Amino acid sequence: MRKIVISTGGGDAPGLNAVIFAVVNSASKRGWEVFGSRSGYRGLLDLDDLVRLTPKDVEGITPIGGTILGSTNKGNPFAMPVQNLAGEIQIVDVSDRVLKNFNRMGFFCHIAVGGDGSLEIAHHFAQKGMPVIGVPKTIDNDLEATDRTFGFDTAVATATEALDKLHSTAKSHDRVMVVEVMGRESGWIALYSGVAGGADVILIPEIPFCIDAVCEKISDNELHDKHYSIVVVAEGAKAEDGEVISRGQGEVGRSEVVLGGIGEWVAGEIRERLGKDTRSLVLGHLQRGGSPTTFDRLLALRFGAAAVRLAEAGIFDHMVAWTPPEMSSVPLADAICCRKKVDLNSDKVLTARDIGICLGDEE
Ligand code: F6P
């Protein structure tokens, strides 16, 4: 009997459980056994953290947020933070142990669900001889090779709902509300939620912004008898002459800095320049939580089923991708080569400009 293992790595995203559901059911239908590796690769490092998953085990998990397997963004087996006997943290390569356990368990395929970081690790394992298939997950939607990643639609829905709610309080107090959303170096969440949620200003990493242009838009609102404004700022946005603001590396073993703080900076500048009552808030991990939207559930289920079809066809070191209208696959090396950015000539950007939203640049 064929045996496969599935893991979920990196930051969680709504729809992870739907992928697990689809993989377990599609594989079981073919008579294969499925195991789940808890917390990224932990189950492949320590076999006690490997769990058998049957259709019964995953019954009803599709609408549930998070991942039943757990996840981590500091679990790279090629650079794992491990505490030595003196209590110091050392970075150790434990990838050989992972591969040994994979072979010992008799797995013929590993389905790795993750964003660019996790997929890069998966690709390294493929180069080491592990048959791997990637499934693209991230609320940031920043993977070049797929039209969408699952999790993005839910994050946008959450951010849009938050913006809807902020309108009434901003209007009641004649205030500017600055909302910082996630997305790393891409402005997808900010652009989609900002346009749908009626923002006056949207600042994305793809367009370094001019704070004068932002203030001008808010002043223009005042002139048109609109005494409140909503500003959406992507966490990776930066002023023309400024830097991306981060909170540093965070925990040991993380590969990327923790972004955040640009919303507060923008709010401070508006307050100082316009003397306008201004508040800022960070939506943060709210965007990663909750039940996946119908769109994300469907996409995640399709990704999971497509990954099992790839495994059956013996196509490894590939990632499943959504290239509308069908599912396809791309080599992992191509999938991780660069991050997908907002196309400044796309219809969504044109729409934002046409309906009067300021994107922080001088047109
Ligand atoms: O990549 C997903 C993401 O949610 C980013 O949007 C955000 O910058 C980052 O993860 C936050 O990571 P953490 O969960 O480690 O705070």
Could you report the per-residue pLDDT of 147-186, keeping only the tens digit for each? 999 999 999 999 999 999 999 999 999 999 999 999 999 9
Could you report the per-residue pLDDT of 37-61, keeping only the tens digit for each? 999 999 999 999 999 999 999 999 9
DSSP state, residue 287: G
Could you report the per-residue pLDDT of 98-146, keeping only the tens digit for each? 999 999 999 999 999 999 999 999 999 999 999 999 999 999 999 999 9
Report residue 267's pLDDT band, with 50, 70 and 90 as the boundaries. Answer: very high
User: pTM of the prediction?
Assistant: 0.96
66 CA to centre of ligand 1 in angstroms = 14
Name the burial class of residue 200, with classes exposed (0-12), middle (13-18) and buried (19+) by CB atoms within 10 angstroms of its CB: buried
Nearest residue to 158 (alpha-carbon basis) of 179, 173, 176, 143: 179
Query: Where along the chain do its domains lie?
Result: 3-150+292-324, 154-289+343-354
* Active-site annotation holds for 343: no
Report residue 363's pLDDT band, with 50, 70 and 90 as the boundaries. Answer: low
Exposure of 343 in the CB half-sphere (CA atoms within 13 A): 6
Q: Judge contact between 81 and 253, C-beta under 8 A.
A: yes
Fold of 154-289+343-354: Rossmann fold (3.40.50)
Fold of 3-150+292-324: Rossmann fold (3.40.50)
Q: Judge contact between 160 and 190, C-beta under 8 A.
A: no
Q: Which of 23-32, 76-85, 123-132, 268-277 is predicted least confidently?
A: 76-85
Taking CB atoms and a 6 Å cutoff, what residues make up the pocket around ligand 1?
Answer: 11, 73, 115, 138-140, 182-184, 235, 258-259, 288
Q: Give me the pLDDT at residue 304, please.
A: 98
Identical topology for domains 3-150+292-324 and 154-289+343-354: yes
Q: What is the DSSP string of 113-167?
A: EESHHHHHHHHHHHHTT--EEEEEB-TT--BTTSS--BTHHHHHHHHHHHHHHHH
Could you report the per-residue pLDDT of 1-46, keeping only the tens digit for each? 899 999 999 999 999 999 999 999 999 999 999 999 999 999 999 9
180 CA to centre of ligand 1 in angstroms = 13
